[in-house]
Amino acid sequence: MPMHEIPDKRKYLALIKLDLIFMDRFRKAKSDKKSLQNLFDLLTEGTVIVEGKHDIEVLKGLGIDAIPYTKFSNTIDCSLRNGKTFYLLMDMDKGGEDKERKAIEIIHTHYPGCRIDTESGKRLLKMLGCISVEQIGQRARSILLGSEF
C-alpha cells in the first residue's frame, strides 16, 4: 500500500520506528546469551504471570511455566504465599499495562508479603526486541542455540 493511502501515516511510521528499535536490541542480545539464560533461570525461580494461553505455550516451549493473570489467584497454593516472587510478563502495550495493574492488585489482595517483579519481564522483552510475549519464542531459541534469526 503506498504511503499516501495509509490512513494514519504517523502511527504507521511510529510502528516501523519501534520495530527497528526492537530489532536493533535483538541483534545486540544475540551476543549476550549468558544474560538471557540468567534471566530465564530467574523466571523459573518464582511464578510467572502472563496475559493468556498463547503466552503460556510460548514460555512452556522455552522451559518456563506460567499461568494467566485471570486465573492465578485460584491456582497458587496458599502455603506458598509468603516470600514468593511473582514475575509479571505482559505485552508492552496498553492492554498489557492494564493487565499488569490488575495482576498487581490481585497479588496485593490475595498474597500479602509476596514480592512482585515487573522489571524482569520488561527486560526480557527489550533484550529480545519484542513488544509481545508471543514474539519471544523463536528469537530466544535462536540466541540460546546460536542460530540465525
- Note the pLDDT tens digit of each residue in 8-48: 777 777 777 777 776 766 666 555 788 888 899 999 888 89
DSSP H/E element including 12: helix 9-30
pLDDT of residue 29: 52
Q: Based on the structure, what is the number of domains in the chain?
A: 1
The CATH number for 78's domain is: 3.40.1360.10
**Domain limits for position 68:** 3-145
The whole-model pTM stands at: 0.72
- Note the pLDDT tens digit of each residue in 79-128: 455 568 899 999 999 999 999 999 999 888 888 888 999 999 999 998 88
Sign of CA dihedral 48, 50, 52, 53: negative
φ/ψ of residue 23, rounded to 5: -65, -35
Is residue 100 within 8 A of residue 88, CB to CB? The reply is yes
